[in-house]
């Protein structure tokens, strides 16, 4: 269980990143033009990168105790 505020914030960041990924996938499926494709591509890429960074930071916190 997360107790420290910094860990709680990292968990919230992971949740936001996952929501970004889901939204990007849904948006891409419903898009009507290439501009939306660019938008959702950037959102998807950003979501994956943000999640990766947050998971890495969470792992570092766990190793430190």
Distance between start and end Cα atoms, the chain:
13
**d(C-alpha 20, C-alpha 45), whole Å:** 9
pTM as predicted: 0.89
Residue 43: partners with Cβ closer than 8 Å, 6 or more residues away: 20, 23, 24, 27
**How many CB atoms within 10 Å of residue 26?**
11
What are the tens digits of pLDDT across the range 43-64? Answer: 999 999 999 999 999 999 888 8
What are the tens digits of pLDDT across the range 3-50? Answer: 889 999 999 999 999 999 999 999 999 999 999 999 999 999 999 999
């Amino acid at each position: 269980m997360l107790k420290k505020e910094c860990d709680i914030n990292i968990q919230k960041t992971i949740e936001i990143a996952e929501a970004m990924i889901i939204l990007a996938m849904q948006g891409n499926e419903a898009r009507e033009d290439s501009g939306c494709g660019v938008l959702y591509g950037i959102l998807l890429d950003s979501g994956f990168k943000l999640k990766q960074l947050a998971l890495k930071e969470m792992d570092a916190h766990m190793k430190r105790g």
